[in-house]
């Protein structure tokens, strides 16, 4: 049922369905890039498609929607999702949808997860696909559902059943790498790790996608995850000191960081001892999990120690850990543009133009499930949880899709 | 050039200050376990050892290690002595006497449309500076407090850290350069030297050049080398000198005494986004570099970053035949006249992550060239126009108010535009200096420089000539003295692994 217009040489029309548009929110970064263009491949690039319909779920203080419409007369805001994707008609009237379920203010679940509306947006859009007997490529920023495994799975299954490309995930998987290296395809890997920052049920997803976009390229492809255990507070430091995750990989990852907080005020770049890390990181989180083929992965959120995402893995046959930084130009004083949204949007454009997902949504299904399992483990007293539902198997895209040109 | 009198002043001082050699090694300074080679003994000479000073950022790498190729690398180096120019009680600092040198007051050696190149103008020197005072050592200076006595909240951007480092790492804090090189003894006692001269209390000349004492540091080291009959590998941070004849003399001296001389900025060796270089031997038609700063030292970094890419063009480096520094509306006019390519300018700007103006307001992306907004954002633009001897031309545009990073785009025959951002990691880590430390260490351990010092020589001369142009009301200046020819290494030397 999936179709695209590009074969006929016409500019695809897009509709965006988003939570709220405020400065430095995901919807602002993504919608702006479709409308205003962005630097790409050494030129100022204007996407060869027109974003014409917009639905904004919450328009409150700081809302930039009106400003967007004023600047872009071709864009129209609709009061409902259905109207945005039908452009006020009775049938699907666009060639692709851009969905951003991040940001905005939504209620919390019993485990404290924000009930972001990815699934509600999805259902409304798919209703139109069904009633129009036509479906189009679907970009979904970040997680599938941020808080419900069954919703995530349903989104994944629906896209397969109806045959429309679904692509999303984190910008971490597609941004610059420093150094600009790819995980060797078909490599055997026993341990992989990401050191990141940010909160549970938020940046943990980015850290998990950082790991997953790499290890999915290992020998045999992805096999799914069989268990997960979270660590926080004292249990984190005890596990750290016992070597539950390899210190060599922590060191390799931190040696790729460019935001390593000096443990001493009179130094500017110095490697910390575990004791110093304890002082710097009052509230650490780890998710330790095992894939069904035996690969063990560790995600560390170390607020206070770093403000970037770094990856390290032990690859068979390599004497030193493989490592890199997934670099985020971050408008928190470091930059003014969140340029890591550019490769995310660029890959979405390619999907809209080709009608093919550029990387597997199964990756994002698995990482969405890992976040939910991680939060569950924390909620259940840092218990190890078996995760039979995460038996997600897939093969990576053969081409690298991270930003390198 | 130092006078004998000036030199003897330092010598007498150093022998009077013989004290037992401090050998308090901290765990940080220990060679890696299993290393059998004796650590390389290092003297570090600089202007100020403040938090986030260039000296601190670079010197610390050799004390506490640095990130390198996915590991926290601990060089097999022992810093044995440090000289910090700002700590020496001075009349503006003994080395600030460099500003009295004839070279500085001499007519600029770049020439306008008429007049012959006067050649080296450094022959005649003022009488040397007075001997540095001996009565007060750094520690005894009235009112001076050791850093150990500082409470952490008192550590500010201008707090000297060298005394605390000396205590922690057991190096000798020296009161003059010969003492640093001899580590308190009679003979040369180090295997390598790092010098980092940077903005401090140094005066500026009428062309706006800060009279950094790079040359003075160098000459004092060379005196020791000559007495010893041998030199050791030497790193000079950033420009060799504000004066091209001095810079040239430094390069010639290193050649004559046969010691490896590495120099320059961290920008040529930092990471690039994306990881690209000018294809070696490619025909480069034009390049445009964009950045910020101007007349503050970062213009040197930017020019050298540009140079490290352009030197790879077909035929290698041929030197610079003329320069012109444009300012204000003349910069935009030059763009309209095609003196630099607007397409390359747009391309370079497309690599920036820091557009200002409306991006600050609502986070939007902007085509700064296409929208025509650039002149509104940049009130005082500057263009450093470089004409190479082989006809290639390059322009460094300083666009304060439009962007806050450094990006380049070059048109390469048959390849289109090659563009990238020189990645400057955030404070406080500033890991671009870790990239530089790796090159310094490589020079010291192999005795070979990974890239030619002529790059820095030419860039030092380009900057000086551009500032001359500015001083001469933005006149175009021919620069026959900048016929610096060299071949770069075919392998790219910036951080990639």
A369 falls within a domain: no
* Set of chain A residues whose Cβ sits within 8 Å of the Cβ of B352: 39, 337
Determine, yes or no, domain membership for A381.
Answer: no
Give the gap in angstroms from C-alpha A394 to the nearest C-alpha of chain B: 29
What pLDDT does residue B153 have? Answer: 54
State how far the Cα of B136 lies from the Cα of B332, in Å rounded to an integer.
55
3-state secondary structure of A346: helix
Residue for token digits 């009161």?
B175
How many helices (H) does chain B have, and how many strands (E)?
Answer: 15, 16
Contact partners, residue A133, CB within 8 Å, separation at least 6? A1
Is B255 found in the same domain as B293? Answer: no
Total of domains in chain B: 2
Residues in chain B: 497
pLDDT at position B228 is: 96
- Nearest by CB to residue A335, choosing from B69, B147, B353, is B353
Residue A338 domain-assigned (yes or no): no
- Asked whether A97 and A134 are in contact (CB, 8 A), the reply is no
The residue of B32, B54, B70 whose CB has the most chain A CBs within 10 angstroms, and thus the best one to mutate to test that interface, is B70
Q: Which of B65, B165, B364 to probe the A interface (max A CBs under 10 A)?
A: B364
- Rounded Cα–Cα distance for residues B284 and B450 (Å): 23
Starting at the earlier edge strand, list the strands of the sheet with B382-388: B272-273, B416-422, B406-412, B284-291, B393-398, B382-388, B320-327, B477-478
Assess if residue A253 is contained within a domain: yes
**B151 interface with A at CB cutoff 8 Å:** no
Number of Cβ atoms within 10 Å of the Cβ of B52: 11
User: Chunked in runs of 10, what are the mean pLDDT values of chain A (405 residues)?
Assistant: 55 98 95 97 97 97 94 97 98 98 94 93 98 98 95 98 97 98 98 96 96 98 98 98 98 98 95 97 98 98 98 97 97 93 98 97 98 96 98 96 97
Shared domain check, A276 and A134: no
- Contact assessment for residue B467 and residue B207, using Cβ atoms and an 8 Å cutoff: yes
Q: Do B363 and A338 touch (CB under 8 A)?
A: yes
If asked whether residues B342 and B211 sit together in one domain, one would say: no
Same domain for B260 and B298, yes or no, is: no
Contact call for residues B128 and B5 (beta carbons, < 8 A):
yes
Residue of A nearest to B429 (CA): A269
Tell whether B14 is covered by a domain: yes
Q: Does one domain contain both A184 and A316?
A: yes
For residue A63, the enclosing domain spans: 6-164
Domain hosting residue B292, numbered range: 271-424+457-482
Candidates B354, B356, B428; nearest CB to A269: B428
**Do B255 and B304 belong to one domain?**
no
| Closest Cβ–Cβ partner in A42, A255, A265 for B70 | A255
Instruction: Quote the pLDDT of residue A5.
Output: 53
Is residue B432, in this structure, part of any structural domain at all?
Answer: no
In this structure, are B330 and B240 located in the same domain? no
Sequence-ordered list of residues with C-beta below 8 angstroms from that of A329, at least 6 positions apart, any chain: A176, A335, A337, A338, A339, A340, B353
In A117-266 the beta strands, taken as DSSP E runs, fall at: 138-141, 166-169, 177-178, 189-196, 225-232
Mean pLDDT by 10 residues, chain B (497 residues): 34 32 35 68 97 96 98 98 88 43 39 36 33 33 36 73 96 96 96 93 89 97 97 98 98 98 98 98 97 90 98 97 98 97 98 96 93 96 98 97 98 96 97 98 98 98 97 97 98 98
Same domain (yes/no): B248, B375: no
Query: Do both A53 and A148 map to the same domain?
Result: yes
Whether residue A184 sits in one domain with residue A148: no
Name the residue of chain A whose CA is nearest to B72's CA.
Answer: A255
Domain closes at, from A275, A298, A326: A326
Q: How far is A168 from chain B (nearest CA, A)?
A: 21
B346 Cβ contact list (under 8 Å, min separation 6): A43, A44, B367, B368, B369, B370
Task: State the CB neighbour count (10 A cutoff) for residue B463.
Answer: 26
Residue B409: CATH number of its domain: 3.30.360
- Same domain for B185 and B201, yes or no, is yes
Per-residue three-class SS string for A71-108: HCCCCEECCCHHHHHHCCCCCCCCCEEEEECCCCCCCE
**Closest-CA residue of chain A to B421:** A42
Say whether A337 and B363 touch across the interface (CB within 8 A).
Answer: yes
Residues of B in contact with A43 (CB under 8 A): 346-347, 350, 417
| Domain annotation covers residue A220 | yes
B206 and B279 both lie in a single domain: no
CATH number for position A126? 3.40.50.720
Tell me whether residue B246 is in a domain.
Answer: yes
Same domain membership, residue B174 and residue B298: no
Tokens of B85: 């120019």
CB nearest to A336's CB, from B72, B152, B354: B354
SS3 label, residue B476: coil
Q: How far is B419 from chain A (nearest CA, A)?
A: 6
Residue A276 to residues A270, A281, A282, A294, Cα–Cα distance (Å):
11, 9, 11, 32
Identify whether residues A159 and A114 lie together within a single domain: yes
Residues A152 and A11 in one domain: yes
Indicate the residue of A33, A256, A404 with minimum beta-carbon distance to B274: A404
**Helix or strand or coil: residue A404?**
coil
Maximum separation of any 2 CA atoms in chain B, in Å: 67
Query: Does B215 share its domain with B316?
Result: no
* Least Cα separation, residue B212 to chain A (angstroms): 24
Q: What is the CATH number of the domain that holds B254?
A: 3.40.50.720
Q: Across the interface, which of A271, A337, A339 has its CB nearest the CB of B72?
A: A271
**Of A132, A164, A196, which one is at a domain's C-terminal end?**
A164
In this complex, the residue of B61, B68, B351 whose CB is nearest that of residue A39 is B351
What are the two backbone dihedrals, phi and then psi, of residue B171, each rounded to the nearest 5 degrees? -95, 165
Question: Across chain A, which distance is largest between two alpha carbons, in Å?
Answer: 66
Question: Beta strand pairing status for B284-291 and B406-412?
Answer: antiparallel
Q: How many CB pairs under 8 A join A and B?
A: 153
Q: Does any CB of chain A come closer than 8 Å to the CB of residue B341? A: no
Q: Do residues A41 and A133 share a domain?
A: yes
Least CA distance to B159: which residue of chain A?
A: A266
**Claim to verify: residue A233 and residue A143 sit in the same structural domain:** no
Residue B444 lies in a domain: no
One domain, residues B343 and B380:
yes
- The interface predicted TM-score (ipTM) is 0.95
Q: Structurally, how many domains does chain A consist of? A: 2
pTM score, two decimals? 0.90
Facing residues of B235 across strands? B194, B262
CB contact under 8 A, A36 and B364: yes
**With an 8 Å Cβ cutoff, is B362 touching chain A?**
yes
Q: Is residue B487 part of a domain?
A: no
Residues A134 and A33 in one domain: yes
The answer to whether the Cβ–Cβ distance between A179 and B497 falls below 8 Å is: yes
Using CB atoms and an 8 Å cut-off, which of residues 62-81 of chain B contact chain A? 64-72
CA geometry: angle B161, B164, B165, nearest 5 deg: 80
Q: Domain boundary residue among B230, B264, B298?
A: B264
For residue B495, tell me if it sits in a domain: no
Q: Report if residue A280 sits inside a domain.
A: yes
CA nearest neighbour of A324 among A264, A256, A272, A400: A256
3-class SS of residue A270: coil
Predicted pLDDT of residue B294: 78
């Amino acid at each position: 049922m999936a179709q695209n217009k590009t074969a006929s040489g016409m500019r695809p029309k897009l509709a965006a369905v988003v939570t709220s548009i405020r400065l430095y929110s995901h919807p602002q970064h993504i919608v702006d890039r479709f409308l205003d263009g962005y630097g790409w491949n050494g030129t100022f690039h204007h996407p060869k498609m027109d974003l014409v319909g917009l639905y904004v779920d919450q328009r409150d203080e700081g809302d930039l929607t009106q400003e967007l419409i004023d600047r872009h007369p071709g864009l129209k805001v609709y009061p409902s999702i259905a109207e945005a994707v039908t452009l006020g008609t009775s049938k699907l009237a666009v060639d692709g949808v851009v969905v951003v379920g991040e940001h905005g203010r939504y209620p919390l679940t019993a485990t404290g997860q924000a009930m972001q509306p990815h699934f509600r947006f999805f259902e409304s859009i798919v209703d139109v696909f069904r009633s129009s007997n036509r479906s189009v490529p679907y970009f979904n920023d970040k997680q599938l559902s941020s808080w419900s495994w069954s919703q995530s799975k349903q989104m994944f299954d629906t896209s397969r059943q109806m045959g429309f490309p679904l692509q999303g995930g984190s910008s971490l998987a597609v941004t610059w790498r420093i150094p600009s290296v790819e995980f060797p395809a078909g490599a055997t890997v026993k341990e992989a790790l990401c050191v990141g920052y940010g909160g549970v049920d938020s940046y943990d997803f980015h850290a998990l996608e950082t790991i997953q976009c790499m290890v999915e390229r290992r020998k045999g492809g992805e096999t799914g995850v069989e268990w997960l255990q979270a660590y926080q507070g004292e249990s984190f430091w005890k596990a750290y000191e016992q070597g539950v995750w390899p210190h060599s990989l922590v060191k390799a990852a931190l040696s790729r960081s460019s935001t390593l907080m000096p443990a001493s005020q009179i130094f500017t770049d110095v490697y910390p001892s575990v004791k110093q890390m304890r002082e710097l990181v009052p509230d650490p989180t780890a998710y330790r999990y095992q894939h069904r083929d035996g690969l063990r992965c560790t995600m560390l959120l170390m607020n206070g120690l770093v403000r970037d995402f770094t990856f390290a893995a032990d690859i068979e046959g390599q004497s030193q850990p493989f490592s890199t930084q997934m670099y985020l130009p971050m408008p928190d004083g470091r930059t003014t543009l969140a340029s890591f949204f550019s490769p995310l949007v660029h890959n979405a454009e390619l999907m809209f133009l080709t009608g093919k997902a550029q990387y597997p949504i199964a990756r994002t299904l698995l990482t969405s499930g890992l976040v939910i399992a991680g939060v569950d483990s924390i909620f259940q007293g840092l218990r190890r949880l078996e995760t039979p539902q995460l038996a997600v198997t897939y093969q990576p895209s053969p081409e690298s899709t991270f930003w390198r040109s | 050039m130092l006078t004998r009198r000036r030199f003897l002043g330092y010598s007498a001082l150093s022998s009077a200050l013989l004290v037992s050699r401090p050998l308090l090694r901290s765990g940080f300074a220990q060679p890696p376990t299993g290393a059998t080679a004796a650590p390389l003994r290092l003297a570090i000479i600089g202007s100020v050892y403040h938090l986030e000073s260039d000296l601190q950022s670079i010197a610390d790498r050799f004390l506490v290690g640095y990130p390198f190729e996915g590991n926290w690398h601990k060089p097999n180096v022992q810093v044995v002595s440090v000289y910090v120019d700002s700590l020496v009680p001075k009349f503006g600092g003994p080395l600030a006497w460099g500003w009295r040198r004839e070279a500085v007051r001499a007519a600029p050696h770049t020439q306008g449309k008429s007049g012959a190149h006067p050649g080296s103008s450094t022959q005649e020197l003022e009488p040397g500076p007075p001997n540095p005072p001996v009565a007060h050592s750094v520690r005894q200076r009235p009112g001076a407090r050791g850093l150990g006595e500082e409470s952490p909240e008192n550590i500010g951007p201008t707090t000297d850290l060298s005394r605390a480092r000396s205590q922690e790492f057991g190096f000798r804090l020296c009161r003059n350069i010969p003492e640093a090189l001899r580590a308190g003894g009679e003979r040369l006692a180090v295997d390598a030297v790092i010098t980092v001269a940077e903005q401090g209390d140094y005066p500026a000349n009428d062309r706006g050049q800060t009279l950094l004492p790079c040359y003075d540091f160098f000459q004092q080291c060379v005196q020791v080398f000559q007495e010893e009959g041998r030199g050791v590998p030497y790193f000079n941070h950033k420009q060799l000198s504000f004066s091209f004849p001095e810079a040239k003399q430094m390069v010639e001296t290193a050649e004559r005494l046969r010691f490896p001389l590495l120099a320059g900025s961290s920008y040529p060796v930092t990471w690039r986004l994306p990881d690209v270089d000018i294809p070696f031997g490619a025909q480069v038609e034009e390049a445009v570099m964009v950045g910020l700063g101007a007349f503050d030292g970062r213009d040197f970094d930017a020019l050298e970053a540009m140079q490290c890419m352009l030197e790879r063009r077909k035929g290698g480096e041929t030197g610079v035949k003329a320069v012109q520094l444009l300012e204000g509306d003349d910069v935009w006019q030059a763009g309209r006249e095609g003196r630099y390519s607007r397409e390359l300018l747009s391309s370079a700007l497309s690599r920036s992550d820091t557009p200002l103006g409306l991006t600050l307001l609502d986070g939007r992306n902007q085509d700064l060239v296409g929208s025509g907004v650039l002149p509104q954002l940049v009130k005082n633009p500057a263009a450093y126009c470089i004409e190479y001897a082989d006809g290639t031309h390059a322009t460094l545009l300083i666009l304060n108010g439009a962007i806050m990073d450094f990006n380049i785009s070059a048109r390469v025959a048959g390849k289109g535009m090659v563009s990238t951002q020189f990645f400057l990691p955030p404070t406080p880590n500033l890991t671009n200096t870790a990239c530089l430390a790796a090159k310094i260490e490589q020079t010291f351990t192999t005795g070979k420089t990974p890239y030619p010092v002529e790059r820095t020589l030419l860039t030092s001369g380009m900057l000086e000539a551009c500032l001359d142009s500015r001083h001469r009301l933005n006149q175009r200046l021919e620069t026959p003295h900048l016929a610096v020819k060299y071949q770069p290494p075919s392998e790219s030397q910036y951080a990639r692994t």
